[in-house]
Amino acid sequence: METWRLLHTGYSDPAVNMAVDEAILHANSRGLVPPTVRFYGWNPPTLSIGYFQRATKEVDFDALRAQGLGFVRRPTGGRAVLHDKELTYSVIVPESHPMMPTSINESYRILSMGLLEGFRELGFSAEMVSLADEEEKKKFETLGSAACFDSPSWYELVVEGRKVAGSAQVRQQHTILQHGSILLDIDVEQLFSVLSYSSERTRERMVRMFRDKAVSMKDLGRDVTYEEAVDGFTKGFEKGLGISLVPAGLTPEEQAHVEQLVAEKYGTESWNFKK
């Protein structure tokens, strides 16, 4: 059985969290560290936006500041996510790994088997749904919303027909970074209060549509702690990917790179407000 590295980095601020994921990607691309699964949280609770989103157009920064929330632009695509009562995961693995298909959608499906088994480990009924046909895509599609979790990807992990984990993937230096949020609980009103819409009616419509599709573990009747989730999804990734996860820390080189990325990229307005 292949051994991968397991990282528990705890709660960090938004710039550090994104810097750690990128530093691991760079180290893995150079063969300095093995494939890695990382679990983490956010302090303060943070709104992250996808790489291609326009911050000043889609985010209400007055509301964000008033609520004491952090803000960061992710290196991955996708929509806005409010990181609060959740477990965040990341997986970093070479594109050339024998387990990884060349297709982004197929590699997403493979890596998401770790999530699937994690939910099952915690007692939930979870399945992977293929959205290859038009009927399935229409069922989950929501146009015009800035919030993540409301339109599942080509392959979507669903629990009782609704979305509990939102993931995004980027490939750089022949290395895959997939990260995402596993919702323990969610304050839908707070999420939509910090996103900008043309009218209050539009906002209310988006909230209703979001509630129909996205769900947290608490919504499904289970109070799962952060620690329980880490344990469940550690076992889930081991089972889903057929690997053994060995706890470790960041290397000194990775840590130094994290500090550089915070100072020069994720902690800067030029990155976070670049679009």
In 3D space, the residue among 237, 222, 89 whose CA is nearest the CA of residue 166 turns out to be: 89
List beta partners, residue 94. 175
14 in active site: no
Residue 151's pLDDT is what? Answer: 41
Rounded to whole angstroms, the Cα distance separating 40 from 184 reads 13
> Distances in Å between the alpha carbon of 46 and those of 3, 56, 74, 85?
32, 16, 12, 11
Burial 108-119 (b: 16+ CB within 10 A, else e): bbbbbbbbbbbb
- Judge if pTM exceeds 0.85: yes
One-letter amino acid for residue 218 of the chain: K
191 in Cβ contact with 147 (< 8 Å): yes
**Which pLDDT value is given to residue 139?**
53
User: Amino acid identity of 192?
Assistant: F
Q: What is the 3-state secondary structure (H, E, C) of the chain?
A: CEEEEEEEEEEECHHHHHHHHHHHHHHHHCCCCCCEEEEEEECCCEEEECCCCCHHHHECHHHHHHCCCEEEECCCCCCEEEECCEEEEEEEEECCCCCCCCCHHHHHHHHHHHHHHHHHHCCCCEEEEECCCHHHHHHHCCCCCCECCCCCCCEEEEECCEECEEEEEEEECCEEEEEEEEECCCCHHHHHHCECCCCHHHHHHHHHHHHHHECCCCCCCCCCCHHHHHHHHHHHHHHHHCEEEEEECCCHHHHHHHHHHHHHHHCCHHHHCCC
275 residues of the chain, pLDDT tens digit each: 999 999 999 999 999 999 999 999 999 999 999 999 999 999 999 999 999 999 999 999 999 999 999 999 999 988 889 999 999 999 999 999 999 988 888 898 899 999 999 999 999 999 887 765 555 555 544 434 344 443 445 677 888 778 788 888 999 999 999 999 999 999 999 999 999 998 999 999 999 988 877 889 999 999 999 999 999 999 999 999 999 999 999 999 999 999 999 999 999 999 999 86
Q: Tell me how far apart the alpha carbons of residues 78 and 257 are, in angstroms, rounded to a whole number.
A: 25
Phi-psi region at 40: left, alpha or beta (left = phi > 0; alpha = psi -120 to 50): beta
Q: Which of 6, 91, 148, 184 is catalytic?
A: 148
The CATH number of domain 2-273, selected from 3.40.50.720, 3.90.1150.200, 3.90.180.10, 3.30.930.10: 3.30.930.10
CA atoms within a 13 Å half-sphere pointing along the CA-CB vector of 251: 15
pLDDT for 53 equals 92
Residue type, 48: S
Query: Is-contact 51 77, C-beta < 8 A?
Result: yes
